Each structure stands twice: as structure tokens, then as C-alpha cells.
């Protein structure tokens, strides 16, 4: 689709829907977070808000974060915390959560979440509280579980832990402190520590040393030892990702558009989506390193939304920037093609004029698919095409469309036609002629499905002949020294159309019968086959002849090409080396000649 430059803003409904915001969107996948382990002093919360609902063996409840926290590309303002050592993003109070009290499967049902110490641990002997510290935009949310039992059946608390969520940077940290009690692991196994977006996107630790591996491929849920006091594990979504500037150039047509935006400093790529929904896309779009995008196949007079965001890394994106535009009204498509005067090499094409069209564009080729952008097409001011120099027996596809004001265009229209193959008359040759017999032959004719022949004594063309499917006809029982006329024509069928060719004619006079003194015996006949031939010619002679008899091949100039002595009733001649053409084949015996013809392919 050929784009246009917007000249009159009143023609289009163009609205900028989204103002650039300071982008804080980082990795949208849990596996893309950066992990680090370090030691940091553990300090209990003072003056926080108590969470009595989870100071029991098994329970969970919802609490506010106090600011907007982004996890894996989604903003949250509340979390659900559980006595079993996990924090889930965005689940309100009273919502049912599957598999919330055990961790022996990857898709446990609590994601998106932080696994602080995910197992059947218990808060029955401890306290829990949360608190927000600092000032915007650098606040910190802390959820604390103090004096927690490793197992619901344990008799003394052995661990305390905190989950910290950092505003703006969206960093997640888990801090630990060992308490005086001993670790008592229940029969279901150990704990899981990590983060998860879904049952297929997560990171978990392989152990609780000072330098564990945070894996996104191996799911570990058997940690049975406590992290050291002051041990801290951190997951960082990466640096902030700036959004691109708004769309500044619009080239809009009825069924296409070209849009561009200002590049984000520092290079990188972009992701874009075009749809009819003003909301931010929820699925991945098209990735490009360019700062422009072109579209075709759009609907006329339709409001579209173009969403674009900056891709800082394979897992890190900016916020979406959205631009809206309305496509032009439809550029009327030309009507059905009227194809007339089709011949073997020409045709005339025309269609009804379109009132909105300023001109037309067309391409004739052998492909059904629409012309690609940049294809060599022809412009017309009137809906009429006269074609010449076509090839017979060929399908042609005509792609044509209207061009309207502002360089807009309609969709391509498609039609086709086939040039016919004429039913040509056969070219006749005489391969055998004796006093009583003749053989007339011809080469196959394209599109011929049957042939007709007629043998008469005058040159008047017959009305109908005898049908035959072979490429030669033998007529025995002729009269010596008599004038004959052989007519042959083709019965053709091309693309369902049947026709007859004109008659072809060959005339000849049968020679007198051979005397008994020339070659002993009567009814002698010289036979050659196959005819036409390419490599070898089998020659047969009936009757008697002397030991001086020869077979000769003579070209049309009278030059003797091949001589072979007859030693039996037949001889095989190698003719592969002689040029293609028509030759005389002669049996010569004591001055008497019997002649026929053959064709060398």
C-alpha cells in the first residue's frame, strides 16, 4: 500500500492518547532478573503494623504495599503474605489460592510471588508485621516473620526472615537471621527460596550458602538448612528503560499507514503492536531496530491504535506509548474485468470507470499473488488496456487497482485469461510410394487429439474424413500410374475448446508396376521403419534380387550418403551420424531402382 502525507488534519481523527512518563519498566520475566548474594545486618522492624492473621500454623492474608511496585512488568499495590513463607503479588483478601501450604511442585498456584522460605513452616510461636520506610520515590516495604518454626510440629523457633520491596528500582531482597531453636524439617522435605512469575518462569536457589546459584531451569524444593544470620539474597530487574518519544510522522491511507517515532538515545530495539484497542497490549509485538513501521491490509475509515515501547534487553522493556489514527475512506476498487478480442498473441481489457479514481495501476504476470512493493507496474488514465506480443497457450494474471487523491489506492483486483493455441494443419510427407501402395506421414500437432484423412482422385477438399489417432496412414491397393490426392487435418481441443484445422494436401502419381526382368518376382516392396527415426533404420525387402543388390540413402540434393549391400531380406542401417531431414531410400539391382522416403529426426 502506498502511504500518503497528511495534509489536512481535519480529514483524520488523530489523537495522542499517552503522555510520556518516566519509564521504570525493567525485566518482564522472572528468569531475566539479576541475582546477587551478600551479607547485610539484619534489624527487626520497630513500630510496624502487626499481621496477627499469619501468626498461626496455616493462613494467609492481604496487606498494602504502600506504593506501586512493578514485578515482571506488572504494577501491584498490594500483596498476600502467608505463614508458610511466601509473598504473592496482587491477590486481595478472601481470594482462594491453590497449593498454598506446600511446595513440592513447580506450578504451585501461588505465583507471581517471592519464595522467602516456602514450606510448611509456622508462625504459631512468632510475630509478623510490615512497615514502609523512606520517602517517595525511594520507599522500602518490609514484611517480617520473627521467631518462625521451620516445621509446624517443631517445639522452638529457629529462623526469622524479611522480604523487602524497593520503590522505583523494583529490587526484591530477602534477609535472614538464625534464632536459638534447632531446625526440625518435616517429612514433606525442605524449603524453596526464590521468585516466580508463573509455573514456567522462575528463579530458585540451589542452596543457602553465601554464593548459591539462582536457577531458572532446575526447581529446588529440598533446602533443609538455615541461611546464615545477616545473609541477604537480592533479585534486581535491571536498569530503568526509557520510553520512545511520541509518534511524530503519520502517512495514512485507506488501507495502509506508515508511522515513525524518535529514537531512544543509546541504540537498542523496539516492539510495536497495531490494533483497535486503546489499552496497553498484553501480548508480545513485532520487534524492530528501526524507528518506523509500515502497515497494509487495513480497513478504511477505521480507528487504529499504534503501541510502541523500547526494548532495552531481551527481558527489559519501557512503558507503552500509544498513538491513534483513522484511516482514509475507501478508494473505490475497479469492477470486474471485461476481456475481449483474445487471440494467440493479443487481448483487450477494460472495466467500468471509478468516480473517485484519478488513475489506475496494473501489472500482468504469471503469478496469482498481489504485486510486491516496488514491483514494476504501469499507470493508466483510462480503464482500457490493449495487449500485444503475448505467448500462445499461456495463462496471464491481471492485477489492477484504482489510485485516488493523496496517492491512496484500492486493494488489488485479480483476473486472468489464457491465450489460445491455434489448431494448426499438419505438415505432410510421403515415406513410401509404389505402384500399389503409399504411406503418408506427419509430425504430432500440439493440442490435436485426433486426425482425419481422405484419399481422392481430385483436389477438391472433402467435407469429412476417416478418423485416425496415429501420425501416418497407409493406402494399399492403389492403381499404377494414377494421380492421387491425400488430405489430412487435425481435430484439436485446447482448454475445453474444440476446433478443426484446415486440410493439408499431398498429391502423387503411382509409378508403373515393376517388370519381371528388373527384379525377379512380383509385388516387390521396400519397407523402412521406424519412420521418422533418430539412430537406426530397419530396411526390409520382399521378392527376389541378385547378389549385386544395394541399399542406398540419397539426400535431397542427390548426394549418395549411405551404401549397404543386401545379403538377406532385411538390413539395419546406422543413420545416427547423418543430419536431420528427408532422405530417399533406394534398392538398386542391375539398373532397377525401388524408392521410398524416410525422415531423420
- For residues 299 and 274, the answer to whether their CB atoms sit within 8 Å is no
The domain that holds 312 is classified in CATH as: 2.60.40.10
pLDDT tens digit sequence for 330-350: 888 898 899 888 888 999 999
pTM comes to 0.47
Assess if residue 142 is contained within a domain: yes
Copy the grid coordinates of residue 365. 504476470
**Domain check: are 94 and 163 in the same one?**
yes
Cis ω on the peptide bond leading into residue 137 (within 30° of 0)?
A: yes
Strands (E), 179-268: 192-198, 201-205, 214-215, 231-236, 247-252, 256-261
What grid cell was written down for 4? 500518503
In this prediction, residue 362 carries a pLDDT of 95
- Give 516-534 pLDDT, tens digit per residue: 333 333 335 688 888 899 9
Tell me: the pLDDT tens digits for 150-207? 888 888 999 999 999 999 899 999 999 999 988 776 555 689 999 999 888 999 999 9
Q: Does residue 186 sit in the same domain as residue 215? A: yes
Q: Are residues 349 and 388 in the same domain?
A: yes
Cα 543 from Cα 523, distance rounded (Å)? 7
Q: pLDDT, tens digit, for every residue of 218-272?
A: 888 888 899 999 999 999 998 777 788 888 777 888 888 999 998 887 767 899 9
Residue 126 lies in a domain: yes
- Checking if the pLDDT of 314 tops 80, the result is no
Domain range for 88 is 30-236
Q: What is the H or E stretch that residue 525 is in?
A: strand 525-529
The three three-digit cell numbers of residue 32, written as one number: 531475566
* Rounded CA separation 377/331 (Å): 19
Kindly state whether residue 24 falls inside one of the protein's structural domains.
no
Identify whether residues 64 and 108 lie together within a single domain: yes
Any idea what DSSP says for residue 446? T
C-alpha R_g of the chain: 47
**The domain boundary residue, chosen from 178, 211, 236:** 236
DSSP string for 47-64: S-EE-GGGSSSS-EEEEE
- How far out from the chain centre does Cα 355 lie? 37
Q: Are residues 182 and 64 in the same domain?
A: yes
Q: What pLDDT shows up at residue 102?
A: 66
Q: How confident is the model at residue 80 (pLDDT cuts 50, 70, 90)?
A: very high
Q: Please state the rounded mean pLDDT for residues 36-58.
A: 95
How many angstroms from the chain centroid is the CA of residue 56? 59
**Of 302, 326, 350, which residue is a domain's last?**
326
Average pLDDT score over residue span 1-8:
30
CA distances 253 to 11, 262, 327, 330, 372, Å, are 11, 22, 6, 9, 17
Confidence check: pLDDT of 16 > 50: no
CA distance 79 to 84: 15
* Percentage of residues of the chain with pLDDT beyond 70: 89
Pair 48, 166 in one domain: yes
Q: Compare 476 and 144 and report the one with higher pLDDT.
A: 144
* 3-class SS of residue 386: strand
3-state secondary structure 456-511: ECCCCCCCCCEEECCCEEEECCCCCCCEEEEEEEEEEEECCEEEECCCEEEEEECC
pLDDT value at residue 256: 86
DSSP secondary structure, 566-596, as one string: --SSEEEEE-TTSPSEEEEEEEEETTEEEEE
Predicted pLDDT at 186: 57
Q: Do 393 and 279 lie in a common domain?
A: no
The answer to whether residue 9 sits within a structural domain is: no
Find where cell 508463573 sits. 198
pLDDT at 528: 87
> Which tens digits make up the pLDDT trace of 420-459?
899 999 998 887 888 888 899 999 998 999 999 999 999 9
547-591: pLDDT as tens digits = 778 888 988 777 788 888 887 788 889 999 999 998 888 888 765
Residue where a domain stops, chosen among 296, 326, 356: 326
Looking at the structure, do residues 232 and 251 belong to the same domain, yes or no? no
Same domain (yes/no): 312, 169: no
CATH code of the domain containing 532: 2.60.40.1220
- Residue-level length of the chain: 601
pLDDT of residue 504 exceeding 50 = yes
Q: How remote is the C-alpha of 390 from its chain's centroid?
A: 32
- For residue 406, tell me if it sits in a domain: yes
Q: If 0-12 CB within 10 Å is exposed, 13-18 middle and 19+ buried, where does residue 561 land?
A: middle
Quick one: which of 117, 376, 127 has its CA closest to 225?
117
Indicate whether 79 and 213 sit together in one domain. yes
Give the single-character DSSP code of 9.
G
**Res. 24: pLDDT tops 50:** no
For residues 96 and 173, membership in a common domain is answered with: yes
Please report whether residue 21 resides in a domain.
Answer: no
Q: How far apart are CA 84 and CA 566, in angstroms?
A: 112
| 279 located within any domain | yes
Label residue 332 exposed, middle or buried (CB < 10 Å: 0-12, 13-18, 19+): middle
**pLDDT, mean of residues 318-322:** 87
Which residue do the cell numbers 531453636 mark?
A: 181
In total, how many domains does the chain have? 5
Which pLDDT does position 107 carry in this prediction? Answer: 55
Q: Quick check: is 467 in a domain?
A: yes
Residues 356, 495 share a domain: no
Q: How far apart are CA 173 and CA 169, in angstroms?
A: 12
pLDDT digits (tens, 9 = 90+) for 370-409: 999 888 999 999 999 999 999 999 999 999 999 988 778 8
Q: Is the pLDDT of residue 278 over 60?
A: yes
Amino acid at each position: 500500500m502506498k502511504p500518503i502525507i497528511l495534509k489536512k488534519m481535519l480529514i483524520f481523527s488523530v489523537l495522542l492518547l499517552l503522555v510520556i512518563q518516566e519509564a521504570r519498566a525493567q525485566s518482564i520475566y522472572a528468569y531475566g532478573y539479576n541475582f546477587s548474594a551478600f551479607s547485610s545486618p539484619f534489624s527487626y522492624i520497630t513500630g510496624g503494623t502487626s499481621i496477627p492473621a499469619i501468626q498461626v500454623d496455616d493462613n494467609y492474608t492481604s496487606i498494602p504495599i504502600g506504593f506501586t511496585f512493578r514485578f515482571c512488568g506488572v504494577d501491584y499495590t498490594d500483596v498476600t503474605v502467608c505463614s508458610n513463607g511466601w509473598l504473592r503479588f496482587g491477590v486481595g483478601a478472601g481470594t482462594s489460592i491453590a497449593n498454598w501450604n506446600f511446595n513440592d511442585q513447580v506450578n504451585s498456584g501461588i505465583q507471581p510471588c517471592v519464595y522467602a522460605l516456602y514450606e510448611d513452616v509456622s508462625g504459631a510461636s512468632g510475630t509478623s508485621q510490615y512497615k514502609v520506610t523512606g520517602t517517595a520515590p525511594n520507599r522500602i516495604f518490609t514484611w517480617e516473620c520473627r521467631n518462625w518454626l521451620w516445621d509446624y510440629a517443631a517445639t522452638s523457633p529457629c529462623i526469622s526472615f524479611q522480604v523487602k520491596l524497593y520503590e522505583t528500582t523494583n529490587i526484591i531482597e530477602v534477609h535472614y537471621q538464625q534464632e536459638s531453636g534447632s531446625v526440625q524439617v518435616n517429612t514433606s522435605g525442605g524449603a524453596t527460596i526464590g521468585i516466580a512469575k508463573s509455573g514456567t518462569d522462575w528463579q530458585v536457589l540451589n542452596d543457602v550458602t553465601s554464593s548459591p546459584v539462582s536457577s531458572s531451569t532446575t526447581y529446588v524444593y529440598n533446602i533443609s538448612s538455615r541461611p546464615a544470620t545477616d545473609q541477604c539474597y537480592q533479585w534486581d530487574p535491571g536498569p530503568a528503560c526509557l520510553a520512545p518519544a511520541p509518534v511524530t510522522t503519520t502517512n495514512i491511507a485507506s488501507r495502509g499507514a506508515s508511522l515513525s517515532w524518535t529514537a531512544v538515545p543509546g541504540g537498542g530495539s523496539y516492539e510495536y503492536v497495531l490494533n483497535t484497542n486503546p489499552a496497553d497490549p498484553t501480548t508480545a509485538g513485532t520487534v524492530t531496530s528501526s524507528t518506523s513501521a509500515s502497515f497494509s491490509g487495513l480497513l478504511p475509515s477505521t480507528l487504529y491504535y499504534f503501541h510502541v515501547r523500547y526494548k532495552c534487553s531481551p527481558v527489559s522493556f519501557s512503558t507503552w506509548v500509544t498513538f491513534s489514527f483513522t484511516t482514509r475512506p475507501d478508494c473505490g476498487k475497479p469492477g470486474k474485468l471485461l476481456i475481449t478480442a483474445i487471440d494467440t498473441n493479443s487481448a483487450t481489457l477494460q472495466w467500468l470507470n471509478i468516480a473517485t479514481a484519478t488513475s489506475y495501476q496494473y501489472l500482468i504476470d504469471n503469478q496469482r499473488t498481489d504485486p510486491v512493493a516496488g514491483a514494476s507496474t504501469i499507470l493508466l488514465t483510462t480503464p482500457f488496456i490493449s495487449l500485444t506480443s503475448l505467448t500462445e497457450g499461456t495463462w496471464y494474471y491481471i492485477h489492477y487497482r484504482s489510485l485516488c487523491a493523496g496517492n491512496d489506492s484500492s486493494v488489488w483486483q485479480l483476473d486472468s485469461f489464457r491465450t489460445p493455441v491455434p489448431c494448426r494443419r499438419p505438415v505432410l510427407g510421403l515415406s513410401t510410394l509404389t505402384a500399389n501402395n503409399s504411406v503418408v506421414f506427419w509430425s504430432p500437432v500440439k493440442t490435436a487429439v485426433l486426425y482425419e484423412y481422405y484419399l481422392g482422385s481430385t483436389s477438391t477438399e472433402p467435407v469429412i474424413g476417416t478418423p485416425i489417432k496415429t501420425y501416418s496412414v497407409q493406402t494399399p491397393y492403389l492403381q499404377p500410374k494414377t494421380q492421387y490426392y491425400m488430405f489430412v487435418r487435425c481435430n484439436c481441443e485446447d482448454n475445453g475448446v474444440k476446433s478443426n484445422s484446415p486440410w493439408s494436401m499431398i498429391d502423387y502419381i503411382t509409378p508403373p508396376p515393376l517388370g519381371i526382368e528388373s527384379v525377379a518376382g512380383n509385388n516387390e516392396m521396400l519397407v523402412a521403419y521406424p519412420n521418422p527415426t533418430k539412430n537406426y533404420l530397419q530396411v526390409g525387402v520382399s521378392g527376389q534380387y541378385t547378389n549385386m543388390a544395394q541399399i542406398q540413402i540419397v539426400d535431397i540434393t542427390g548426394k549418395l550418403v549411405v551404401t549397404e549391400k543386401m545379403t538377406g531380406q532385411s538390413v539395419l542401417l546406422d543413420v545416427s551420424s547423418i543430419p536431420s531431414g528427408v532422405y530417399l531410400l533406394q534398392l538398386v539391382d542391375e539398373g532397377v531402382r525401388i524408392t521410398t522416403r524416410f525422415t531423420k529426426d
